[in-house]
Structure 1
Amino acid sequence: MTRATIASITRSGDWLAEGYHKFGQNGRSYIIPDASGRNEIVIPSEKLRWLTNQPDDVSSVRAAHYDMLQADYNFTDPYLIQSVFHERVIHKNLARKVDHIIPDIYDEIAASVDDNFGLNTDKWTELPVWDIAINMFARISNRLFVGLPLCRDKDFLKQSTAFAMDVVTAVALLPFFPSWSLPVVARLMTIPNHFHYWRTSKHTMPIILQRLKDITSNDPKLDIPEDYITWHIRTALAESKQKELEPEMIAKFIMPIEFAALHTTALTSTMLLFDLFSSDPVMGFVEGIREEAERLFEECNGKWNKPTLAKMFRADSAIKESMRLSVFTSRGTTRKIVAKNGLHNDEEGWTAPFGSFISVDLVNRHHDPSIFEIPDVYDAFRYSRPREQFEAEHPDKKDSDEFLKMRNLSLTSTGEDFLSFGHGRHACPGRFLVQHELKMMLAYITMNYEIPLLAKRPANQWLATSIIPPTKATLKVRRRAV
């Protein structure tokens, strides 16, 4: 392990800022040491399109994720990360089924918030935000993955959450061990992962076996739930994927999507709640989100749907602004070079060799004062003001170029100035679901709870390339007496 590798644990943020201001802002790439022991090429955001347009057999997001997640050891079977099957299942089904699943997701949001925030209208409760976010989104995510009643089963949630946390631990620690030791060290370190999978499979296997039986029976009288298990089986049948139809493989495939969904939404929602509830009280952000939520909730007769959620400009903006300001990974759109001859950049005249990594600086781009006005201040309505103004002034221009430009301000639109979901054809496929989940969460919390604003936001912590939310900080909550 080099001194640069050790120093990167605490100095990555400083090095990244120095590289951005010295090179990135001038359109030049640079190399930065990484805590994993490798050197990573960081390109300016202006070269983002060049990177994302590279063929997958030259510059691979999958290979990058495989290495970064220590997939040889972390997920019970390397095939789960090598395969694109589960991503294809999400891609093919989520957009088409979203109107069907929104009511279920909101039902789980309401139930999990009530259970974790409490129903007392007189007494304030001190809320450990990070712990509560994990508890809530374990349930909310699993409502989609495995459905009721399993998504509320305490042992299942305990084991699936522990699996996700143990994956994070292994990802953080294994890079500090020499590669020759990993066949022993990594297998020992990830023994708990296999145990947690075994425990979760005791819950999921009976459901999977029954679902296989029901779907293959083609009985039109059966009311088959719309969840990941159903989507997985139907997609595997349609594509004649025999391996993916094995009950044990279905149970195993649930684990990486559990990890991805829980890890990202818990981090994002924790950052969001601290950003929003430590914002300037003069700006009235919470009141503005509450007014929008109550108005639209009444408009849809208390039943959220995709068109109504699309009108939640303020909530959408509040989430996007938090994801701009409070990223949890400092670099993104990471690719591993898999072409034997490397990847040549003609403009700058360098070649990224086979096996090297290329990424883009998120954190400094998102905080660049030449791009964002007062970039270090949380402005919840930064993206919604122009959208609301345009809607008010041009209600009939739904097909205009200006209207399309306004739509690009939404949370799910990616680009060189907003990279929290990645960019290009490999941008996060679950971002549309995350958008709906977080909007409905904000709506439910602001409509039903009082949360006093903090005088100062608890600080995040840098750890190598990651930025960790304040995991021990709390918010006071009380049920609104409506």
Structure 2
Amino acid sequence: MALFPDADSSLLVIGFVLILCLKFAHAYYERSKLKHIPTLGADGVFTSYLTAFRWITKATDIIEEGYRLYPGGIYKIPTIDGWQVVVNGRDMVDDIRKATDRDLSNLDATDDILQVKYTMHPHLSDNPYHIDVVRTPLTRNIGICYGDMLDEVQTVISEKIPPSEDWVEIHAHDVVLQIVVRAVNRFFVGLPLCREPEWCELNIKFTMNVVINSLIINLFPKFMQPVVGRIFTARKSSLKTALKYLKPIIEERLMMQERYGKDWTDKPNDYIQWCMDAEQNAPLSQRTSIEDLTVRVLAVNFAAVHTTSAFTYALFNLAAHPEIVDPLRKEVEHVLEREGWSKVGMVQMKLLDSFLKESERMNGVGATGLPRKVLKDFTFSNGTTVPAGSSIVAAVWAIQRDDKLYPNGNEFNPYRFFDKRSQEGEAIKHQLVTPTLEWVLFGQGKHACPGRFFASAELKT
């Protein structure tokens, strides 16, 4: 008789137990490094998992509790994939804003959270010049290309939410996904590709896969992540599908670029071309790499699809506060009469800007934000030192609802920022796209979201 009736099952159990032991050992080591920082919830190597599992479904409750217990301070919480150091208040946010990339790294934190090398591409973060493409040529071209995005928004909304004499029920999130992907890809890749159903579906699935797969990978010890990352991701199949559409486009443009050089008079004006023009910033091995350019198109779609939540919450808040609909329509009509459909017109819609910002303040942020990885021991202004290798986040959910910063912070007030902008010298400070120590949705300092101006124009349209 066999010693193990089911050898495969036994190996799985042994492997699972080994992984748990390694996770516990790592948790114990990390806890010892952070013992001088107070813990929210259970602190033991085993009991801390009670808080970690609570974090999965009650993250905002935990953050609000920490905000009350440690005002303007710092604490740590256990999560399934490790200890998280959380900071509260303006001063601590300012410390993060002023820190250098040699001390606190936003890019390294993002890579760890999203497991970019496995979920997107192994070399995407080696030289993320596409971020500068979004920050500069994409932002500069919002006004020039605005008419194309407007046309796509009008077209896709008329298709997905057709005019009717009666009420029509829609699944808001699913419909909004289709609208957002079509609108942003009109800007990124142009016609006719932005209307190709398989292309749109690819970018939606790619975004979802990155989030889900990164969560799975982060459950495993670091030494196992390269193996798990190859098993639990759809990166290669996504890239294969994307190449089917982008390879002919990029090859043709490379040919035209070689033939005409600077004399290429009708050169396309879209994200693909801006990346091609910026390739001098890429390593030699990546220049004119069709795969590299394709991955950067997928990456910018991943970022853009996240405006879906902002759009969805805006629709829900319109439904919940119908009294704001007429004032918003009057403002839009008044501005359009004066400026027409344009980037300038979008900027002048101050009540719409206030409504969207308030909608985001109340609903559009996660429990935490401003992720940073500590590369060198970092001391905050309150004297607390966080050791290298730690992960830091800010208590964004609680900051955005702080009654001292936002009176009656748990109440939805669409005029909140409109009224503030009406005060002398406050017109710029309270815009949706302006980061402040109180408004951290779009990040801080030089790491503020490079696509926030595009996102604002898109949402308003």
TM range (shorter): 0.7 to 0.9
2:33 aligns with: none
Q: 1:95 to 1:186 in 2, by over 3 A?
A: closer
Residue 95 of structure 1 and its aligned partner are, at CA, apart by 3.0
My pick for the range that moved more, 175-184 or 14-23, is 175-184
- Matched with 1:88 is 132
The equivalent residue for 2:407 is 373
What displacement does 1:105 show?
Answer: 1.1
Q: In structure 1, how many angstroms separate the alpha carbons of the residues matched to 2:235 and 2:264?
A: 39
Which aligned pairs between 1:12-51 and structure 2 lie closer than 5 A?
12-24=59-71, 27-51=72-96
Q: What's the offset of the Cα at 1:383?
A: 0.9
Deviation at 1:240, TM superposition (A): 8.1
Return the alpha-carbon distance in structure 2 between the equivalents of residues 386 and 350 of structure 1. Answer: 35
Select which of 116, 123, 127 maps to 1:79.
Answer: 123
Q: 1:238 to 1:428 in 2, by over 3 A?
A: closer
Q: Is the 8 A contact 1:285 1:381 kept in 2?
A: no
Contact 1:80 1:252 in 2 (8 A): yes
2:379 alignment partner, SS class: strand
Q: Distance in 1 between matches of 2:281 and 2:420?
A: 45
Structure-2 residue corresponding to 1:146: 189
Question: Deviation of residue 234 (structure 1)?
Answer: 1.1
Matches of 1:325 and 1:292 in 2, distance apart? 23
Residue 172 in structure 1 maps to residue 215 in structure 2: yes
Matched-pair contact (CA < 8 Å) for 1:89–1:231: yes
Q: Does 1:55 align with 2:100?
A: yes
C-alpha displacement of 1:238: 7.5
Maintained 8 Å contact 1:325/1:367? yes
Distance 1:386 1:55 in 2: 32
Counterpart for residue 478 of structure 1: none
Contact 1:45 1:361 in 2 (8 A): no
User: Which residue of structure 1 lines up, in the alignment, with residue 245 of structure 2?
Assistant: 203
- Asked if the contact 1:43/1:358 (under 8 Å) is kept, the reply is no
Structure 2 gaps of 5+ residues are 1-22, 24-45
Q: Map of 1:288-307 to 2, 5 A cutoff?
A: 288-301=327-340, 304-307=341-344
Q: Give the direction of change, closer, same or farther, for the CA distance of 1:344–1:188 in structure 2 (3 Å limit).
A: same
- Taking a change above 3 Å as real, the CA distance of residues 71 and 228 of structure 1, as seen in their structure-2 partners, is same
Deviates more, 1:41-50 or 1:354-363: 41-50
Q: Contact 1:5 / 1:35 at 8 angstroms: preserved in 2? A: yes
State the alpha-carbon separation in 2 of the partners of residues 56 and 237 from structure 1: 23
Which aligned pairs between 1:67-466 and structure 2 lie closer than 5 A? 67-75=112-120, 77-120=121-164, 122-190=165-233, 192-216=234-258, 217-218=260-261, 220=263, 222-237=265-280, 243-262=286-305, 264-279=306-321, 281=322, 284-301=323-340, 304-339=341-376, 342-345=377-380, 347-387=381-421, 389=422, 402-403=424-425, 405-440=426-461
In our comparison, the structure showing a higher alpha carbon Rg is: 2
Tell me the amino acid that sits aligned with residue 148 of structure 1: L
Question: 1:339-370 CA deviation, whole Å, 9 max, x = no partner?
Answer: 2xx1123x433221111012211111111122
Distance 2:251 2:200 in 1: 20
Q: CA deviation at 1:242?
A: 5.4
Secondary structure in 1 matching 2:170 = strand
Retained in 1: the 8 A contact 2:368–2:393?
Answer: yes
Q: 1:383 aligns to what SS in structure 2?
A: helix
Give me the whole-angstrom Cα distance separating, in 1, the residues matched to 2:159 and 2:284: 40
Q: How far has the Cα of 1:44 moved from its partner?
A: 2.8
Q: CA deviation at 1:98?
A: 1.9
Provide the identity percentage: 28
Deviation at 1:235, TM superposition (A): 1.4
Conserved? CA contact 2:67–2:88, under 8 Å: no
TM-aligned CA deviation for residue 193 of structure 1: 2.6
Report deviation, 1:276: 2.3
| TM-score (ref. length: structure 1) | 0.81
Shift of 1:219: 6.7
Per the alignment, residue 27 of structure 2 pairs with: none
CA RMSD of aligned residues (A): 1.9
The whole-number CA distance in structure 2 between the counterparts of 1:219 and 1:183 is 43
Shift of residue 160 of structure 1? Answer: 1.9
Secondary structure at the counterpart of residue 65 of structure 2 = helix
Contact kept? 1:343, 1:351, Cα under 8 Å: yes
Distance 1:34 1:239 in 2: 36
Alignment check: 8 A CA contact 1:146 1:228 kept: yes
Distance in 1 between residues matched to 2:460 and 2:369, nearest whole Å = 24
Q: Give the residue type in structure 1 aligned to 2:277.
A: R
Give the counterpart letter for 2:400 in structure 1: H
Give the alignment's TM-score, normalised by structure 2: 0.85
> What code does the residue aligned with 1:114 have?
S
* CA 36–42 in structure 1, closer or farther in 2 if over 3 Å, else same: farther
Hey, what does 1:462 align to over in structure 2? none
Which consecutive aligned stretches of 4+ in structure 1 deviate over 6 angstroms post-superposition?
none
Gaps spanning 5+ residues in structure 1: where?
Answer: 391-401, 441-482
**1:10 matches 2:64:** no
Is 330-339 or 238-247 further displaced after alignment? 238-247
Match of 2:10 in 1: none
Task: State whether residues 176 and 308 of structure 2, in contact with CA within 8 Å, keep that contact through their aligned partners in structure 1.
Answer: yes
Instruction: Report the Cα distance in structure 2 between the residues aligned to 1:241 and 1:434, rounded to whole angstroms.
Output: 32
Distance 1:181 1:237 in 2: 35
Contact 1:129 1:270 in 2 (8 A): yes
The answer to which structure, 1 or 2, has the higher relative contact order (CA under 8 A, 6+ apart) is 1
Query: Does the 8 A contact of 1:336 with 1:356 survive in 2?
Result: yes
